[in-house]
Structure 1
Amino acid sequence: MTVKTRPTPEETRERILVVAEEHFRRVGYAKTAVADIAGALGMSPANVYRFFPTKSAICEEIARRLLEVSTDQVRAIAAEKGKSAADRLGEMVLAIHRYNKNNFTEERRLHDMVENAIVESWGVVKGYIQGLTVIFAEVIREGMVAGEFVVRDPVEAAMLFKQTHVSVFHPTLIAHCADLDEIRDLEAQARGLTQFALRALKA
């Protein structure tokens, strides 16, 4: 006779996140209540609240995981050997754009969750943006050492580099630009912005 073991707190927490993300993708963030998540798990809302005090806390953890994937992609490109700093920055920009477009723009129901995160200024979103700036700064600093870039402050340059690409990073702006007749090819726009920013770094 097999004895069923009770799931550990970590396993229960993970199940809540998996089911919550599935609901957000299927019916949308706004239309999903904690009671819906609890019902799908066969538990009471009070039990869900033992692990996450609010629905926003669930959303923030899901957002953190999704953004962590993007950060890992960018960090891997930054660490590639044998490529110039300029080439790595260009690849990083496209990786961020494609990830945000595929996960937060074309996934329209997840887009609502991201909008909420940005409006509420969740710490996870701020951390993601700051993390990207740090990685950009590291690559720009390497470009300075290699003689590719002529700038005084790699951190300031990284912040400006990031800001130059807001229209191809921000999910809402990506969606808006995709609807404009004059900006149909967003990847071409991303490449153009990067070339513009690289010229400034090299000047």
Structure 2
Amino acid sequence: MADIASELGMSPANVYRFFPSRDAINESICGRALNEVADIASAIACVNVPAMEKLDRLLTAVHRHNKMTLVEERHMHDLIVVAMHENWTIIKAHVERMVAILEAVIREGIEEGEFEVEDAAQAARAVKMAFTPFFHPTLIEHCIRHGEDTEADLHNQIRFILKALGRSG
């Protein structure tokens, strides 16, 4: 805590007024990063375009954001990896929020006749699982290290999922 306080130009006692431990600070920082991703997804979910376009934009934006975090904010990437490996509760909450956003978009698509699935919640969980390789920081890092074209694979997966949801037209 002393090094954090020093970096912020304050006393350790002052830092302890806001955070009981270094773990609490890390969880708060990780939460802010995860909320940024969910806020991006939520904003796209609210755009006035067809649900299939929302889903495409949302999945692409989340992947690109997570990939950018690896490249441009390595410390944040590493913190999120630790949080996932240690199964922090904030990770579970983030995943649940993302699935809820996906479910809302899919439900909208069902209501508008774009998607033909019966259970939006089940479809949202399936979409989350199908995009784990494009969202999970460790898997993104693996793909980049091995020179894989994640953008092409992402777009192929999006096309596949849109067909699986029963995209009309």
CA distance in 1, matches of 2:8, 2:45: 40
**1:96-115, CA deviations, whole angstroms, 9 ceiling, x for partnerless residues?**
01111112454222222111
What is the CA distance between 1:201 and its match in structure 2?
A: 0.7
Contact residue 105 and residue 172 of structure 1 kept, 8 A: no
Contact residue 140 and residue 154 of structure 1 kept, 8 A: yes
Which one of the candidate residues 159, 163, 167 is aligned to 1:199? Answer: 163
Which one of the candidate residues 71, 78, 82 is aligned to 2:45? Answer: 78
> Matched residue of 2:117: which SS?
coil
Ranges in structure 1 where 5+ consecutive residues have no aligned partner: 1-33
Identity of aligned residues (%): 43
Residue 166 (str. 1) matches residue 132 (str. 2) = yes
Ranges in structure 2 where 5+ consecutive residues have no aligned partner: none
What is the CA distance between 1:150 and its match in structure 2?
A: 1.2
Contact residue 70 and residue 141 of structure 2 kept, 8 A: no
Residue 61 (str. 1) matches residue 25 (str. 2) = no
In terms of Rg, which structure is larger? 1
CA distance in 2, matches of 1:142, 1:101: 28
The aligned residue for residue 189 of structure 1 is 153
Contact residue 111 and residue 171 of structure 1 kept, 8 A: yes
Aligned length in residues: 167
Which one of the candidate residues 26, 38, 41 is aligned to 2:8? Answer: 41
What is the CA distance between 1:66 and its match in structure 2?
A: 1.5
The aligned residue for residue 102 of structure 1 is 68
**1:42-96, CA deviations, whole angstroms, 9 ceiling, x for partnerless residues?**
4443442232122111011111112212211111111111x22111101000110
Deviates more, 1:103-112 or 1:57-66: 103-112
